[in-house]
Amino acid sequence: MPRIPAKLNPESPLNISSVAGFIAGLQTDTGDIPWHIHGKTDPWDLVESIMGLTIGGYHDQARSALDWLAGKQNPDGSWFSSYQDGQPLDRTTETHMACYLAVGLFHQYLILGDRQELGQYWPVMARGIEFALSLQTDSGEIYWAKSPEGKVDPMSLLAGSSSVFMSLKCAISIARVLGKEAASWQSALFRLETSIQENMHTYNVSKSRFSMYWFYPILGGALRGRRAAARIDKYWSKYVIEDQGCRCVLDRPWVTIAETSELVLSLHAMGRDQEARMVFSWIQDRVYADETFWCGYTYPDMVIWPEEKISWTNAVALMAADALYGLTPAGQIFSHAQWDGFQYKGLE
């Protein structure tokens, strides 16, 4: 299949060909897309890279990566936390990694509209969802992982659970497209939503130093409207360096392109596009000579760190551009206005 480029909006400052081409160039013959040259792979970030490829029109490469991921799924529906050259590196199995495939598949469907392909990966996606929900508690939160020895770690992470929330919405939407039953997933989604909205104290607060803890409940759609606005406004000065971007960790002077792009997606999801475009503009010159993005940099000394070019960092920058400039039909996948509860508006 010839490469189908995304629609380049003249307002978009991002070089789609360079960014998507870089991600495609990292892909190995097996379909794997590591973080960087000679780097590891994790299932969640691989799905981010797949979405970046799909935005850029590299559909064959995206399918190859999906096939690699499907081939690595464990019998219980999970994946290992990381792989190196196709071999397990960390045998922890994490809930948010097990179900994020649903977001990538729904994203792909919104762009290509291929029900047959959606059905092909349904069994893999459904097993991943069931693994994640097997670690959901009666009060709604989802434990983050099982150890390599198979022991459940009874700790819930806010960012991870918010990612599971988004994955469940997409999985339910896929079920709707394919005419599959998903009542148990809907029930799990409602319980998880209540947990995040009403019982946030049950989540591991030690992770609050990471900016993902701040905006992921909004990015995933569990916090909307006044709840979302209050959270963004309350902690903005803790995590954001004006005219630079979003810190990865609040107590370190390290601005990261991925977290900044995810903040852009979160602001866009809330309908605050003017702020989203402003924040996105801050990182447009944080690129190498080939117009691919840095991973991050320290401030105010402006030292690029780390120096590796990262696949998923560039992918999420593409996702942010898609949200703001409508590069593909999937650009609104995170938008709160595009969802009516667990239903994505406009599905046939």
Q: Which of 343, 288, 330 is nearest to 105 (CA)?
A: 330
Res 269: pLDDT: 98
pTM of the model: 0.96
Q: Write out pLDDT tens, residues 306-320.
A: 999 999 999 999 999
Res 2: pLDDT: 33
User: What's the pLDDT band for 7 if we cut at 50, 70, 90?
Assistant: very low
Give the distance from CA 268 to its chain's centroid: 15
Structure tokens at 138: 């009666």
How many Cβ atoms from other residues are within 10 Å of residue 234's Cβ?
10
Structurally, the chain folds into a number of domains equal to: 1
Res 53: pLDDT: 98
User: What's the pLDDT band for 173 if we cut at 50, 70, 90?
Assistant: very high
In a domain, 9, yes or no: no
For residues 223 and 243, what is the distance between their CA atoms, to the nearest angstrom? 26
The average confidence (pLDDT) of the chain is 95
In a domain, 6, yes or no: no
In the predicted structure, residue 8 carries a pLDDT above the cut 90: no
In a domain, 219, yes or no: yes
Res 6: pLDDT: 33
Helices (H), the chain: 16-26, 43-56, 59-71, 95-99, 101-112, 115-133, 158-178, 183-198, 211-219, 225-239, 257-270, 273-282, 311-325
Are 13 and 293 a contacting pair, CB within 8 Å?
A: no
**Which whole number is the average pLDDT over 183-195?**
98
In a domain, 69, yes or no: yes
Q: What CATH number did the domain enclosing 125 receive? A: 1.50.10.10
In a domain, 191, yes or no: yes
Q: Write out pLDDT tens, residues 285-301.
A: 999 989 999 999 999 99
In a domain, 207, yes or no: yes
Range of the domain at 151: 16-344
Q: Which residues of 236-265 are buried (b: 16+ CB within 10 A; e: fewer)?
A: eeebbbeebbbbbebeeebbbbbbbbbbbb
